[in-house]
Amino acid sequence: MLWPGTLIGAGAGFFIASIPGAMLGALLGQALDRRLQLHSWAQLRERLGGRPALRNDELLFVLLGRLAKSGGRVVDKHIEQARQEMRQLDMNPAAQQRAIAAFNRGKSGHDSLRGYLLRLRAQPAAAEGVLRACWRMIVADGRVDPKERKLIFQWGRWLGWTPQQVQLLGADHEPQKKTPATRGGTYQQALALLGVTASTDPEHIKRAYRRLLSRHHPDKVAGAGATPAQVREATDKTRELHHAYALIREYRGFR
């Protein structure tokens, strides 16, 4: 991850006082990076232009606003979906106002989101919740625009997800996925959910399943201070993992 303030401080310090100056400048620049939440040159330009850093509770709605606008025009179904997300997160009136402002900010498309999403990698449950909400916004108007798909796959990559994992996450939401899938296709989706392949041996599959189950277990998520909405997401994820593992065991014939 890039720290522009640190680099500028180190460069200026070196110019003024060689290596000792570079060290002092880097420390001061790092303090500036943390204070302003700078993770890229684009974010530095935003701060210089007067755009404040995004709070964690605002980032989701900036993403949703970007998606809603990317298809060309924001329609009533997009607005209603954003309101539904607010209700699901049980937002108070002040938080709702921040979410509305963030949604409108997202429609402008001016924010650099890469740094925020890279930082969110460290919170797998939160990252998954963001991607799920993004899929719900994408299909709110009953269709999936190529620009929307491009955005969510890009964001998924920044969050550390493979394209297959992002696609699988949206399988329950996309209109064209509502028809019954073939057995082989469902098996491939189950493999992708566990992060394994058809050639992975059973012991590695079992370990992958247990690791993911431990990470997403609702009790563990709740114990970490998650919101009720995040606990519900974890419960859904755990159910998906159970189904995927059961299907793989049946398909491969192991216990």
Tens of pLDDT, residue by residue over 91-121, are 999 999 999 999 999 998 877 888 889 988 8
Q: What is the pLDDT averaged over residues 58-62?
A: 93
Q: What is the CATH number of the domain that holds 235?
A: 1.10.287.110
d(CA 89, CA 227): 8
Both 201 and 234 in one domain: the answer is yes
- For residues 20 and 41, state if they share a domain: yes
In a 3-state reduction of DSSP, which class is residue 153? helix
Identify whether residues 170 and 104 lie together within a single domain. yes
For 127, the token pair is: 């990252």
Q: In this structure, are 164 and 124 located in the same domain?
A: yes
Write down the pLDDT at residue 60. Answer: 95
* Side-chain half-sphere exposure of 201, counting CA atoms within 13 A: 2
How far is Cα 239 from Cα 253, in angstroms, rounded to an integer? 21
61, 39: one domain: no
Q: Could you tell me the residue range of the domain that residue 18 belongs to?
A: 4-48
Residue with tokens 């209109």: 175
Judge if 156 and 101 occupy the same domain.
yes
Extract the tokens encoding 112.
């650099």
Residues 6+ apart with CB under 8 A from 80: 140
Torsion of CA 12, 13, 14, 18, to 10 degrees: 150
Nearest CA-CA partner of 56 in 116, 129, 101 = 116
**136 and 68: one domain?**
yes
Instruction: State residue 247's pLDDT score.
Output: 87
The DSSP secondary-structure symbol of 196 reads: -
Same domain, 142 and 75: yes
- Domain finish residue from 142, 160, 177: 177
Torsion, CA 107, CA 84, CA 236, CA 162, rounded to 10 = -10
Residue 245 and residue 133 share a domain: no
Number of domains in the chain: 3
Decide which of 122, 153, 177 is a domain's last residue: 177
Of the three residues 148, 177, 206, the one that is the final residue of a domain is: 177
d(Cα 1, Cα 21) in Å, to the nearest integer? 23
Rounded Cα gap, residues 234 and 126, in angstroms = 10
pLDDT above 80 for 78: yes
pLDDT tens for 144-163 read 899 999 999 999 999 999 88
One domain for residues 145 and 206:
no
118 shares a domain with 92: yes
pLDDT classification of 39: cutoffs 50, 70, 90: low
CA separation, residue 70 to residues 66, 134, 149, 152, 204 (Å): 6, 12, 10, 11, 40
CA atoms of 218 and 197, how far apart (whole Å): 26
Q: 136 with 215, same domain?
A: no
Residue 69 has pLDDT above 90, yes or no: yes
> What average pLDDT does the segment 10-39 reach?
59
